[in-house]
């Protein structure tokens, strides 16, 4: 029943009681509204902001953050981990030149008197649309992931401690991680020299091979429990659209349950409220094709994956030497087909939107590097197809209805052209007990006479 589906928020409109749209917190009025009340005439704030206004709002939000950090307590924590070497706090720049802040986190510097620098990473909490317990879980899981990686040959920043906002013993007042600052600049493919690019591909192959040497028994995110690192529930996903779920020891269950969570959230008006019927059909199609994601695979072995692996998670020096891999938030242990399959690093997003879910030339280049190093099994995952990438990119965050329809048509066409299409999605939707609610959401939000299922393809 819909009432049992976890919520990130409840609609701020008095008396409404419906679930708030996830990621839909309004930066102007600071309200979380449901699928119906987030649109005019109920909600009149301008939701698509120009760059200048957006930067101003981020500035306001981020300027508030250091004020919430109890700097003295933070410096005491840092100093205690370096035998009392004194240190100072220096706020990080949030935009523009020298910026070290990602979208989801605030970063500040801890400068020690002997010249060493650490980074403090604090999640930006936005406008209350992500529950605090999930934010704390993301922080704890990122810490555990980095702790695990310290014992591998994957170059990552050392972590020294972390604190959670919910912990009464945390004197710092916010959730945070204290970590080493690594040298290097983010790798941006189109800005890299040929030499840097060659070097990065070669080292990325080494890193994937190293990850393949550390299997986990389940799929999920890492968490520290009584001083050991273990697999626990998934820490949301890259778009912070999902709540905690899993872990699973079965690959198919993992993909199917992920799609099912999306389907529940769509029917509850929490996700994709602008195109609920399209989105519901998309995730039905992915669920019904989930077996394609786990071909011939032995269950029982799962591998860590960096989820936000666009390329700028790699820090490099002038020669292309990878000095470290950062931003492990949302990292998860996944089946080998996903862990070593095509990623964002070598993706062509334009292709993904236009019906090409295949292997890109950069996927093949990485596969070639893997093969050169004797990892033919990993290369085979990299070259198989891009369906898992399409599954995880899904309808992304913030797509318009037309863009979403492009992605849906793309995946459908991709499956059909490979003779992998399993049959009528719309028929499956109509058999689903949630479909009536999805159609009602569509009609409540649409003023056009457009057929709610006009774009849903059936063979």
- Minimum distance from CB of 36 to Zn ion (Å)? 5
Q: Under a CB-based contact definition with an 8 Å cutoff, are residues 336 and 303 in contact? A: yes
Cβ-based nearer residue to Zn ion, 14 or 84: 14
Mask for 173-212, x = binds Zn ion (CB under 5 A): ----------------------------------------
Tokens (6 digits) for 128 = 């209350």
Region near Zn ion per CB under 5 A, out of 43-51, 124-132, 194-202, 254-262: 43-51
367 binds Zn ion (CB under 5 A): no
16 binds Zn ion (CB under 5 A): yes
Separation of alpha carbons 417 and 246, rounded Å:
33
Instruction: Kindly state the smallest distance separating residue 13's Cβ from Zn ion, in Å.
Output: 4
- Whole-angstrom distance, CA of residue 176 vs CA of residue 119: 10
Rounded Cα–Cα distance for residues 424 and 430 (Å): 10
- Cβ 35 to Zn ion shortest distance, Å: 8
The verdict on 393 binding Zn ion (CB under 5 A) reads no
How far apart CA 345 and CA 307 sit, in angstroms, is: 10
Q: Per rule CB under 5 A, is residue 39 in the interface with Zn ion?
A: no
Q: Is 22 near Zn ion (CB under 5 A)?
A: no
Binding residues for Zn ion, rule CB under 5 A, total 10
Residues in Cβ contact with 47 at an 8 Å cutoff, skipping those fewer than 6 apart: 26
Q: Kindly state the smallest distance separating residue 275's Cβ from Zn ion, in Å.
A: 19
Q: Give the range of 12-20, 191-199, 225-233, 292-300 binding Zn ion by CB under 5 A.
A: 12-20
Contact 62, 101 (CB under 8 A): yes
* x-marked contacts with Zn ion along 45-64 as a string, rule CB under 5 A: x-------------------
Q: Which residues contact 425 (CB under 8 A, 6 or more apart)?
A: 281, 284, 285, 288, 412, 456, 457, 458
Q: Which 8-state DSSP code applies to residue 290? A: G
Nearest to 389 by CA among 428, 369, 416, 363: 363
- The token duo for 251 is 């690959």
Taking the complex as a whole, the smallest distance from the CB of residue 268 to Zn ion amounts, in Å, to 12
Q: Is residue 79 involved in binding Zn ion (CB under 5 A)? A: no
- Residue selected from 22, 37, 287, 381 as contacting Zn ion according to rule CB under 5 A: 37
Q: Which residues inside 369-388 make contact with Zn ion, applying CB under 5 A? A: none
Binding-site member from 5, 6, 23, 28 for Zn ion (CB under 5 A): 28
**Cα 298 from chain centroid?**
26
Minimal CA–CA distance to 230: which of 251, 249, 243?
249
**Within 10 Å of residue 350's Cβ, how many Cβ atoms?**
8
Q: What three-state secondary structure class fits 234?
A: strand
Indicate the residue among 99 and 440 with the shorter CB distance to Zn ion: 440
Give me the phi and psi of 87, to 5 degrees please. -150, 165
Cross-strand partners of 110:
89, 118
Q: Does 13 bind Zn ion (CB under 5 A)?
A: yes
Stretch that binds Zn ion, among 44-52, 145-153, 157-165, 227-235 (CB under 5 A): 44-52
What lies within 8 Å, CB to CB, of 206 at 6+ separation is 153, 373
Closer residue to Zn ion, CB minimum distance, 14 or 98? 14
Residue 40 has φ and ψ, to the nearest 5°, of: -60, 155
Closer of 34 and 331 to Zn ion (Cβ): 34
Which segment (25-33, 158-166, 200-208, 431-439) binds Zn ion by CB under 5 A? 25-33
Q: Is 26 in the site for Zn ion (CB under 5 A)?
A: yes
Sole window of 20-28, 59-67, 81-89, 93-101 interacting with Zn ion (rule: CB under 5 A): 20-28
Work out how close the CB of 30 gets to Zn ion at its nearest, in angstroms, rounded to a whole number: 7
Pinpoint the alpha helices (H) of 289-360.
336-339, 349-353
Q: Which is nearer to Zn ion, 29 or 349 (CB)?
A: 29
Give the single-character DSSP code of 44. -
Instruction: Choose the binding region for Zn ion from 38-46, 99-107, 161-169, 175-183 (rule: CB under 5 A).
Output: 38-46
Q: Which residues bind Zn ion (CB under 5 A)?
A: 11, 13, 16, 18, 26, 28-29, 34, 37, 45
């Amino acid at each position: 029943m819909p009432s049992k589906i976890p919520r990130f928020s409840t609609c701020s409109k008095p008396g409404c009681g419906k679930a708030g749209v996830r990621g839909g917190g309004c930066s102007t009025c600071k309200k979380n509204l449901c699928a119906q009340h987030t649109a005019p005439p109920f909600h009149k704030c301008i939701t698509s902001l120009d760059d200048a206004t957006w930067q101003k709002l981020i500035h306001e939000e981020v300027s508030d953050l250091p004020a919430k950090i109890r700097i003295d307590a933070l410096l005491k924590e840092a100093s205690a981990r370096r035998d009392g070497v004194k240190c100072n706090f220096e706020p990080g720049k949030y935009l523009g030149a020298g910026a070290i802040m990602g979208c989801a986190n605030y970063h500040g510097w801890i400068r020690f008197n002997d010249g060493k620098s650490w980074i403090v990473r604090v999640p930006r909490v936005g406008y209350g649309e992500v529950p605090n317990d999930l934010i704390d879980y993301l922080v704890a899981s990122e810490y555990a992931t980095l702790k695990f990686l310290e014992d591998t040959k994957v170059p990552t920043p050392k972590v020294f401690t972390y604190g959670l906002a919910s912990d009464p013993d945390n004197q710092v007042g916010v959730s945070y991680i204290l970590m080493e600052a690594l040298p290097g600049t983010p790798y941006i493919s189109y800005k890299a020299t040929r030499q840097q690019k060659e070097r990065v591909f070669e080292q990325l192959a080494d890193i994937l091979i190293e990850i393949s040497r550390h299997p986990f028994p389940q799929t999920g995110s890492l968490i520290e429990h009584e001083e050991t690192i273990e697999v626990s529930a998934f820490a949301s996903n890259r778009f912070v659209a999902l709540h905690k779920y899993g872990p699973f020891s079965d690959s198919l269950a993992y993909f199917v349950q992920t799609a099912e969570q999306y389907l529940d959230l769509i029917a509850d008006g929490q996700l994709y409220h602008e195109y609920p019927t399209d989105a519901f059909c998309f995730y039905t199609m992915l669920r019904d094709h989930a077996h394609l994601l786990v071909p011939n695979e032995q269950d029982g072995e799962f591998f860590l994956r960096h989820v936000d692996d666009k390329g700028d998670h790699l820090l490099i020096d002038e020669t292309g030497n990878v000095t470290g891999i950062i931003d492990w938030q949302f990292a998860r242990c996944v089946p080998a087909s996903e862990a070593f399959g095509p990623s964002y690093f070598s993706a062509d997003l334009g292709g993904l939107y236009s019906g090409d879910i295949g292997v890109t030339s950069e996927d093949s280049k990485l596969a070639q590097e893997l093969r050169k190093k004797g990892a033919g099994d990993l290369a085979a995952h990299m070259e198989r197809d891009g369906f898992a990438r399409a599954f995880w990119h899904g309808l992304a965050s913030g797509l318009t209805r037309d863009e979403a329809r492009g992605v849906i048509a793309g995946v459908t066409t991709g499956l059909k052209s490979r003779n992998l299409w399993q049959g009528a999605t719309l028929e499956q939707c109509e058999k689903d007990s949630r479909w009536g609610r999805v159609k009602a959401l569509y009609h409540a939000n649409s003023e056009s006479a457009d057929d709610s299922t006009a774009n849903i393809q059936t063979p």
